[in-house]
C-alpha cells in the first residue's frame, strides 16, 4: 500500500514481459538517424499506432533506446523516415546495445 510501489511494479513487469517469452512486442532493431546530426542510435520500434494516445502523428513511431549496462532507456517519437532497419536477431542486437558495442556477433 505504499504510494509508488504498484505503478513501479507494473512498469517493471511490463518491461520484463516485453523482453521475455516467445511473443515479444517488438523485435525489429533499427538505427535512428537524425538528418541534421552525424550519429545513429540503435533501438527497437515499440509503437506505430497512436490512435489511443493524445499525441503522435501517422508518419511517426516510438522507438525504445536501451541504455548500456542498465535496465533503463529512452522512449522517443520520431518520423518513420529516420529509421533504418538492422538485419540482426533480437538477442544479438540487444547484447550489442547492453554491452556498449563490445559484444561480437556470433
pLDDT in tens, 65-96: 988 766 678 999 999 999 999 998 888 888 88
Most confident of 4-13, 17-26, 36-45, 70-79: 36-45
Q: Going by C-beta distance under 8 Å and a sequence separation of 6 or more, which residues neighbour residue 60? A: 50, 77, 78, 79, 80
Residue 24 has pLDDT above 60, yes or no: no
How high is the pLDDT of residue 94? Answer: 80
Question: Strands, E, within 1-90: which ranges?
Answer: 29-32, 41-47, 60-66, 73-79, 83-85
Q: What's the CA gap between 98 and 106, in Å, rounded? A: 16
Q: What's the CA gap between 3 and 10, in Å, rounded? A: 13
| Phi, psi values for residue 92, rounded to 5° | -70, -40
pLDDT in tens, 52-64: 988 888 899 999 9
How high is the pLDDT of residue 79? Answer: 96
Amino acid at each position: 500500500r505504499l504510494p509508488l510501489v504498484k505503478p513501479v511494479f507494473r512498469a517493471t513487469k511490463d518491461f520484463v514481459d516485453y523482453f521475455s517469452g516467445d511473443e515479444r512486442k517488438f523485435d525489429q532493431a533499427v538505427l535512428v538517424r537524425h538528418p541534421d546530426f552525424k550519429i545513429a542510435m540503435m533501438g527497437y520500434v515499440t509503437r506505430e499506432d497512436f490512435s489511443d494516445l493524445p499525441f503522435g502523428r501517422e508518419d511517426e513511431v516510438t522507438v525504445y533506446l536501451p541504455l548500456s549496462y542498465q535496465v533503463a532507456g529512452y522512449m522517443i517519437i520520431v518520423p518513420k523516415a529516420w529509421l533504418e532497419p538492422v538485419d540482426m536477431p533480437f538477442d544479438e542486437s540487444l547484447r550489442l546495445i547492453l554491452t556498449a558495442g563490445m559484444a561480437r556477433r556470433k
